[in-house]
């Protein structure tokens, strides 16, 4: 055989092995997306989708084996193409006021927090939407972490399922959903993770899921002005604004977002926000000693909020070690509230929860991230 013909022989090097098929995070799917997955990927009839969905989001199933009204063959098929990714409880701290703070570990070794706050008439969970936060608010421990990543819809919803299980176990409730209220005021800026938040809200409000009322869900933002309009158009839950200052100079010192969207732009978005009849926007105002708690601040706040249906939650600062801010005392907080009330602004002093268990947002998770970093090989 000639040299020329030899060069035409095919090369017989082994081909690389195909990449393993990626499993679908089934608990992140909306009902519509799950129905498509069930019919198109699993080849099953559409009625199976609500069955699976109810197991995931009414009962909070963490494995396909729990889905006992599905055939073994279907459960096996699910295992080959889908997965459920539960959060792992890493730390639980109990406060003398009944608050319980949970630190969860994600599958990739990150840490997030949820805070359970029971009262006589409600059981509220504060939910995280991101690992860390990009907003860098100067008084917030989460802000010191930077943004590690967004949480998936399933990781957002899994906090609710996990705490429902905890409350059932700890308090002896038979109902599958003892939680009554959700506030998205934990780690992260919810509107910075809007698409995943919107999917999670749809799951949490669905009749085949936990079926929370829109009246019992509040989402807080530091003031991402363009996203406030989208939030109003694409969801129906309540809006809270983290204001925390009465002048742009003040707010820009502690909330860098104000340098892009100042107080005037933020309040203009609030005035345009679609409100259901009788609804109000909640403004959160963290009272920091000697920074934003003067009489002049209260009077400016009255002027700023004119024309907006509002209530103001005054929140004594939950001190974070090392950040250099201190909480306003009870007497000063009451004086501040009284000025707002005299100016016809509905204002309430919100009792600070979990002060004895690192209750401020991000304290536990930040510690976990630092420990994980110290243990990682360099």
Catalytic residues: 113, 361
Is 270 marked as binding a ligand?
no
Is 126 marked as binding a ligand?
no
Give me the residue label for tokens 């003398």: 96
- In the 8-state DSSP scheme, what is residue 113? E
Residue 278 region, left (φ>0) first, then alpha (ψ -120 to 50), else beta?
left
Is 324 marked as binding a ligand?
no
Largest Cα separation within the chain, whole Å, is 103
User: Residue 194: enclosing H or E segment and its boundaries?
Assistant: helix 194-205
Please list the residues that pair with 12 across neighbouring strands. Answer: none
3-state helix, strand, coil in the chain (%, to 5): 40, 20, 40
Is 262 marked as binding a ligand?
no
Phi, psi of 266 (to 5 degrees): -65, -45
DSSP 328-364: PPHHHHHHHHHHHHHTT--EEEPPP--GGGT-STTHH
Is 323 marked as binding a ligand?
no
- In the 8-state DSSP scheme, what is residue 97? T
CA neighbor of 298 nearest in space, from 310, 282, 314: 314
DSSP 141-189: TGGGG-EEEEPPHHHHHHHHHHHHHHHHHHH---SS----EEEE-SSS-
Is 196 marked as binding a ligand?
no
DSSP 282-316: EEEEEEBTTTS-SHHHHHHHHHHTTTS-EEEEEEE
In whole angstroms, give the CA distance from residue 4 to residue 178: 79
Give me the residue label for tokens 């080849």: 43
Q: Which residues participate in the annotated binding site for S-adenosyl-L-methionine?
A: 188-189, 220, 242-244, 318
Q: Which residues participate in the annotated binding site?
A: 133, 137, 140, 188-189, 220, 242-244, 318
Q: Which residues participate in the annotated binding site for [4Fe-4S] cluster?
A: 133, 137, 140
């Amino acid at each position: 055989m000639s040299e020329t013909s030899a060069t035409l022989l095919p090369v017989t090097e082994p081909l690389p092995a195909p990449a393993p098929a990626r499993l679908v995070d089934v608990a992140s799917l909306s009902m519509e997306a799950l129905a498509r997955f069930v019919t198109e990927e699993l080849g099953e009839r559409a009625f199976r989708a609500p069955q699976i969905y109810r197991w995931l989001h009414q009962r909070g199933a963490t494995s396909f084996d729990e889905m006992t009204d599905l055939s073994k063959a279907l459960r096996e098929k699910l295992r080959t193409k889908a997965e459920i990714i539960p959060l792992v409880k890493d730390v639980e701290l109990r406060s003398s006021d009944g608050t319980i703070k949970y630190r969860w570990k994600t599958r990739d070794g990150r840490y997030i927090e949820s805070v359970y706050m029971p009262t006589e008439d409600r059981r509220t969970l504060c939910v995280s939407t991101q690992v860390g936060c990009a907003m860098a608010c100067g008084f917030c421990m989460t802000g010191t972490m930077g943004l590690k990543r967004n949480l998936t819809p399933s990781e957002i919803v899994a906090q609710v399922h996990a705490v429902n299980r905890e409350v059932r176990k700890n308090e002896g409730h038979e109902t599958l959903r003892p939680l009554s209220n959700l506030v998205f005021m934990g780690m992260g800026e919810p509107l910075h993770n809007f698409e995943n938040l919107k999917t999670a809200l749809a799951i949490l409000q669905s009749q085949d899921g936990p079926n929370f009322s829109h009246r019992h869900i509040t989402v807080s933002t530091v003031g991402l002005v363009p996203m406030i309009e989208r939030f109003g158009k694409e969801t129906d839950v309540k809006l809270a604004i983290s204001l925390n200052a009465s002048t742009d100079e003040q707010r820009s010192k502690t909330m860098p977002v104000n340098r892009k969207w100042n107080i005037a732009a933020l309040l203009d978005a609030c005035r345009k926000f679609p409100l259901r009849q009788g609804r109000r926007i909640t403004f959160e105002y963290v009272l920091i000693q000697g920074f934003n708690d003067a009489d002049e601040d209260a009077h400016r706040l009255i002027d700023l909020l004119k024309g907006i249906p509002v209530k103001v939650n005054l929140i004594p600062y939950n001190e974070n070690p090392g950040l250099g801010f201190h909480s306003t005392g009870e007497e000063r907080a009451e004086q501040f509230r009284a000025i707002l009330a005299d100016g016809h602004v509905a204002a309430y002093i919100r009792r600070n929860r979990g002060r004895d268990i690192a209750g401020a947002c991000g304290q536990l998770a930040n510690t976990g991230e630092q420990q994980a970093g110290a243990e990682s090989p360099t």
